[in-house]
Chains A and B, each alone.
Chain A
Amino acid sequence: MVNWTIILNIAKTHLLTKFKQTAIAALGVTFGIGAYITLVSFMTGLNAMLDDLILNQTPHIHVYNEIEPSKEQPIEAYDAFKNSFNVVHSIKPKLSQKKIHNALPIIHFLNKKEEVKGAIPQIKTQIFYISGSIEIAGNITGIQPVEEARLFNFRDYIIEGSPEKLKNTDNGILLGSGIAKKMSLTVGERVQISTINGDVFPLRIVGIYQSGVADLDAIQSFVNLKTVQRILGETENYITDINVKLFDIDKALPLSKKIEAQFNLTAIDINTANAQFETGTTIRNLITYAVSVTLLIVAGFGIYNILNMLIYEKMNDIAILKAIGFSGKDVQYIFMSQAMIIGIVGGVLGLLIGFIFTNIISTIPFKTEALPTVETYPINFNGWFYVIGIVFAMISTFFAGYLPSQKAKKIDPVKIIRGQ
């Protein structure tokens, strides 16, 4: 029979009379857990921000017509050479249209699918920005601005103006910040662009776009879908790209394969396109956890050490407790509960300190050209980190307390009493 009230009472008295040692042991845990919470919140916050930087504006599936050579060369279709080894030199890509055939019905079809959050068309084309006699090469993308903002956080990258303004302005353009700087243009002014064929169009600047990737901002601008179609002299069903956003990113790969097979188009899913981000995230997480675990193990050794000393000091108490009828288990529980109390108190304090620290960090200004939407250091406030933190604190203190308490359990009271 274990009488917890009395065991906890003895444990409490031991801890309070040795308050300094207790506090130091608990501080070890506090420091470990606090550092873990701060580190993991900050690192994952940073990870999420870096990932968002790319992934948010990246479609989960990108559908387009790839210019590529035919997979089957004509000679293979000829029966006479069926069983021979054919070598074809200087294979040229197949001449195919840039536009997606039947794009509008495909978009309609994709939008009806359950797992699709939205599928929207884009038209990409090369143009020149004209400034006097200087022509600067660039890209222009025709979009549905409001839909882009809804699905791909387009709004975050517009530092002046808004998607609605673009939508409502015929011949409006969202100019890349790099090109705007190069040409000393601001909102409200006009910019002339020319197509590859040499036709010149004046467009009104309704906003400035900045993705954070300087190379991209120096060439990329956005206009309405219809504007591009007019510039290129194409009809309303001229669409070169379809961007699909899903509810569940994990379904990107199977769906992209399906689209490829069904429509004979190229469909690239996000994970294939951005495999390197996964790797970076994994490694950063690994480092975070390695540092945190090291801190907690050090804290665990601190607890082990202090409990060991405490047990040496309390030899007499242990002997007397055993003599008056406490079993070895009771004595072990006394020291185990001391370790656990240190672990829980230190751990909760650690969570608190971690929470305060991360709150402070999340208010520190962090302004960078590359990230127009970020104003302070990014912190990931995730409840699971706190659960993991306290569980880890308890596990490590459990093991730190287990060995010394096992020793206390085995102390022979007769030896202590007679040894005096």
Chain B
Amino acid sequence: MKTVLEAKNINKYFKKPVLFHVLKDINFKINEGEFVSIMGKSGCGKSTLLYILSTMDSDYEGDLYLNNDLLTGDSRNKLSYVRNKHIGFVFQFHYLLSEFTVLENVMLPAKKLGEKSVKQIEKDALEKLRILNIEHLAHKKASQVSGGEKQRVAIARALINNPSIIMGDEPTGNLDSHNADNVFNIFKKLSVEENLSLLIVTHDEDFANRTDRIITMEDGRIIS
């Protein structure tokens, strides 16, 4: 099976306020179509790990591979491009550009990538919104839709460039159980139907138990 994401011997230190070894020798792989969750107590370093894997944090030791390409040491511009093309992101808070419409928010990463015409992008974006059952919100301002809907818009945005992997930092953490369930089902469907890899940091045990694999972290190490 094809490996999408691979971390080799990743170590990370916080230098302020005192030197602190956050991540200790992290090694793991994520295969294509795998739905993986990361669990662990607050402060165990799981979010820190996620931001390293997402390429937003480049201050670490070790090697990071995406689709078997080494990303460690690449320039920030190159990493921005990789994030844009290969990684979709969903956060705990909704993080939409509130002054833009839902559709524009979804289209933004694709416009940035600039591989397709605006018409094509718009068609794709509407398609993604349709998959997530929020087509009717397309022309509303992002600030005018509810929390659960926002999270779905964020997922649609993460999907727009057909990424290799979707990463989530507690994407259901701020949602009620109904919406959380909804989001989980969407992720599951993407994993099964589209063969998409997912890596989700979560506190929600029910959520984690339903994923393919759980990576448990404690004090900066993977314990299982």
Contact = CB atoms under 8 A, between A and B. Distances in A.
Interface stretch (B31-39, B91-99, B128-136, B210-218): B91-99
Interface in A311-332: 316-317, 319-330
A414 B57 contact: yes
B96 to A, nearest CB: 7
Nearest to B88: A324
Contact of A320 (B97, B113, B169): B97
B95 A3 contact: no
Given A13-B99, A17-B99, A323 B112 contact: no
A152 B112 CA distance: 67
B168 to A, nearest CB: 12
A330 B91 contact: no
B109 to A, nearest CB: 5
Contacts of B82: 325
B99 A6 contact: no
Nearest to A326: B112
A6 B108 contact: yes
A45 interface: no
Nearest to A7: B112
A14 interface: yes
Contacts of B187: none
Contacts of A330: 80, 112
B56 A323 contact: yes
B51 interface: yes
B151 interface: no
A1 B84 contact: no
A325 B83 contact: yes
B114 A3 contact: yes
Contact of B100 (A13, A325, A414, A417): A13
A109 to B, nearest CB: 74
A5 interface: yes
B99 A324 contact: no
A413 interface: yes
Contact of B84 (A17, A320, A324): A324
B81 interface: yes
A420 interface: yes
Nearest to A331: B80
A324 B114 contact: no
Given A324-B83, A418-B47, A413 B109 contact: no
B97 A6 contact: no
Interface residues of A, number: 27
B152 interface: no
Interface string A383-420: 00000000000000000000000000000011001101
Given A6-B108, A330-B112, A325 B81 contact: yes
A324 B108 contact: yes
A260 B169 CA distance: 92
Contacts of B89: 323-324
Contacts of A319: 95
B221 interface: no
Nearest to B96: A320
Contact of A6 (B77, B95, B111, B169): B111
B111 A325 contact: no
Contacts of B139: none
Contacts of B113: 325
B188 interface: no
Given A413-B56, A414-B51, A417-B169, A322 B95 contact: no
B84 A325 contact: yes
Interface in B98-123: 98-100, 108-109, 111-114
Nearest to B78: A327
Interface in B9-26: none
A5 B97 CA distance: 17
Interface string A181-198: 000000000000000000
A325 B115 CA distance: 14
B164 to A, nearest CB: 13
Contact of B111 (A5, A17, A322, A417): A5
B76 interface: yes
B109 A324 contact: yes
B56 A6 contact: no
Contact of A325 (B57, B80, B92, B95): B80
Interface in A269-327: 316-317, 319-327
Contacts of A1: 81, 114
B112 A3 contact: yes
A316 B80 contact: no
B85 interface: yes
A6 B113 CA distance: 10
A145 B89 CA distance: 89
A327 B111 contact: no
Contacts of B150: none
Interface of A: 1, 3, 5-6, 10, 13-14, 17, 316-317, 319-330, 413-414, 417-418, 420
Given A324-B89, A414-B56, 12 more contacts: A1-B114, A5-B111, A323-B95, A324-B83, A324-B108, A324-B112, A325-B84, A328-B76, A329-B77, A330-B80, A417-B93, A417-B95
22 contacts: A1-B81, A3-B114, A6-B108, A6-B112, A10-B97, A13-B97, A13-B100, A17-B99, A317-B97, A320-B95, A321-B97, A323-B83, A324-B83, A324-B108, A324-B109, A324-B157, A325-B83, A326-B112, A328-B80, A329-B77, A418-B47, A418-B51
Q: Which 3 A-B pairs have the closest CB atoms?
A: A325-B84, A327-B80, A325-B83
